Structure 1
Amino acid sequence: MSTKIDKIDRLSELSAAKDDERGVSLWTEAFRRLRRNPAAITGAVILLLFVIVAILGPILAPFTPTDPSGIREGVVKSGQGIIPGPTGDHWLGYDHQGRDFFSRMLVGARQTLLVGVISTLIGLTIGALIGGVAGAAAGLGGRVGRWIDVVLMRIVDMLLALPSLLLAVSIAALLGASLTTVMIAVGMVSVPVFARLLRGSMLAQAGGDYVLAATSLGVKRNTIALTHILPNSLAPVIVQATLTLATAIIEAAALSFLGLGNPDSAIPEWGVMLADAQPYLGIRPGLAIWPAAAIIVTALGFTLLGEALREALDPKLRK
């Protein structure tokens, strides 16, 4: 009798210990793990600082980023190899056109963030549309569904067959040098990644028990695909979008470095600033070091947060 009572008490303790875990959604549970992950906290802090600088950059900038005051005052003579370094008023010195470099770094953060976010949204929107249609068509079955899936995936395979940077350069060269071109080119590079990922996730979810239950209840297949399978397949796509932001910033900087970005160098953007600094590396290496370091640190923040989010959402990688 006492043994049965002990077992009942033990079951009650286990049930009470798990009361706090009941009813917790996947995202809530993932957020709890993210708060305990040092890499996630580090990435979040970096991104928070980056966003604050991008939003408040024009307000925080001590000088007008397009004003060539150094040339006007005669302290900058880039043709003679004279580009002053940091001073009390100009913390990072001047650039080759006599503009305050610290102000340009602050204001350039907004353009860099804008390029990364919009290009990622372009790739996510088009890729999710292709992958969602292909995944739904493959999951619905039937001859028409299989043909739709095959055609869309062959288009995606054609995009994947080209190296990403070569594809971006080709698109940028066809459309002409501009900031909008950079966003479109970088966004199109990530389209096949999002399409493949969402399609594969939807096909994996199509074999779930909840799909079988909904089918047995007479729910239409189109409704199951849109209201059940698709929402449950978005978690890996969102994680990939976080990681893609990091590569988008680097690829946008690479296109600007190659001269395919904004042709107006007066508008500060880290990739353009890095390209403009190349002829003056022997005189002022800081003109290249600061924007390069900013791009690397920002990409690192997105990568740390994205990897931590992937671990938090993936049952096989949960700690």
Structure 2
Amino acid sequence: MSGVATPGRKKAEKIDRLAELSAAHDDERGVSLWQEAFRRLRRNPAAITGAAILMLFVLVAVFGPFLVPYATTDTIGVREGLVKSGQGIIPGSSADHWLGFDHQGRDEFSRLVVGARQTLLVGVVSTLVGLAVGALIGGIAGAAAGIGGRWGRWIDTTLMRIVDMLLALPSLLLAVSIAALLGASLVTVMIAVGMISVPVFARLLRGSMIAQAGSDYVLAATALGVRKSKIALTHIVPNSLAPVIVQATLTLATAIIEAAALSFLGLGNPDSAVPEWGVMLADAQPYLGTRPALAIYPAVAIIITALGFTLLGEAMREALDPKLRK
């Protein structure tokens, strides 16, 4: 009978096997959502490419103005007689001026590098404006919907109808209207571009909070007698921010494009001496026939930067959303 495995021995063998598996994987500990997402991002070629583009863009924006060879307001081309815009003479690239001159004889490479800082500033500030206002509206609406009651439903319905009205308007038309009312300036562009992203952040955070309201931890906290307002602020809101942060990364790409569009329409910074890629596009419009590169350089810079934000944002969305994980 010694060769017959008893139930107790089978149980002991099963425990031994589990112990061996545990010892073999003792370095694998539980990780948080963000740690797991970071692991996935490190293995995603699109995320690496997007992060590399954005790192280069940030480095150029921060340190570029200190390293450019010429001042952005120095009309060196006119002073040396190389640029004669009235006659349509605008020289191209050379050993001393890598991208040539603009129509006023200023070094195009220096202006393109310095313009990265203004473009980054507009994109980041406008996204933060939209995120702050949209998260405030969406957080209040989501909390009100979770609390329930007549007043909760009334607050949620009122805020969402306002958001729906903003969503009904085309984004560029809304931005142009706001910029036209406030007057042309860099601050106006930031506010206008930020406001058109408010509805997206508001609805996204509200929907995420409503989805989180049915989670087990919310039911457990409610059963323990924790106030609903405290549950919403300390538990539901932090757990609902992941899709909002991903959307902010994607919004940065569209914010740069929309800010450039407003500047191209003449609603941006009226001082053309301050380089900004959208303003450079607008200034190059009369010279498309004689010097199309003046429009190509800032356009390519805008496209590459927006591509970097888009690649990183999409990769973050796949890493944080269990339904999209590969």
Counterpart AA for 2:180: A
What is the Cα deviation at residue 284 of structure 1?
A: 1.1
C-alpha distance in structure 2 between counterparts of 1:136 and 1:114, whole Å: 32
What is the Cα deviation at residue 12 of structure 1?
A: 2.9
Matched, 1:11 2:18: yes
Could you list the runs of 5+ residues in structure 2 that have no partner in the other structure? none
1:25 to 28, 32, 35: 32
Task: Write out per-residue CA displacement over residues 225-247 of structure 1, whole angstroms, 9 at most, x where no aligned residue.
Answer: 00000000000000000000000
Percent identity between the two aligned chains:
83
How do residues 276-315 of structure 1 correspond to structure 2 at under 5 angstroms?
276-315=283-322
SS of aligned partner of 1:277? helix
2:144 to 117, 137, 145: 137
Matched, 1:92 2:107: no
C-alpha distance in structure 2 between counterparts of 1:229 and 1:19, whole Å: 32
Contact 1:60 1:106 in 2 (8 A): no
C-alpha distance in structure 2 between counterparts of 1:16 and 1:196, whole Å: 46
Q: TM-score, normalised by structure 2?
A: 0.95
Task: Write out per-residue CA displacement over residues 66-118 of structure 1, whole angstroms, 9 at most, x where no aligned residue.
Answer: 11111122110011010000011100000000000000001000000000000
What is the Cα deviation at residue 57 of structure 1?
A: 1.5
C-alpha distance in structure 2 between counterparts of 1:185 and 1:11, whole Å: 60
What is the Cα deviation at residue 22 of structure 1?
A: 2.9
Could you list the runs of 5+ residues in structure 1 that have no partner in the other structure? none
Counterpart AA for 2:105: G
Q: How many residues align?
A: 319
Task: Write out per-residue CA displacement over residues 272-293 of structure 1, whole angstroms, 9 at most, x where no aligned residue.
Answer: 0011111111111110111000
C-alpha distance in structure 1 between counterparts of 2:161 and 2:111, whole Å: 44
C-alpha distance in structure 2 between counterparts of 1:14 and 1:244, whole Å: 45
Alignment-derived partner of residue 250 in structure 1: 257
2:227 to 213, 220, 236: 220
C-alpha distance in structure 1 between counterparts of 2:198 and 2:166, whole Å: 8
Matched, 1:150 2:157: yes
Alignment-derived partner of residue 275 in structure 2: 268
1:173 to 164, 167, 180: 180
2:55 to 48, 55, 59: 48
Q: TM-score, normalised by structure 1?
A: 0.97
Tell me how large the CA RMSD over aligned residues is. 1.2
C-alpha distance in structure 1 between counterparts of 2:183 and 2:153, whole Å: 38
Instruction: Indicate the structure (1 or 2) with the bigger Cα radius of gyration.
Output: 2
C-alpha distance in structure 1 between counterparts of 2:24 and 2:196, whole Å: 48
SS of aligned partner of 1:218? coil
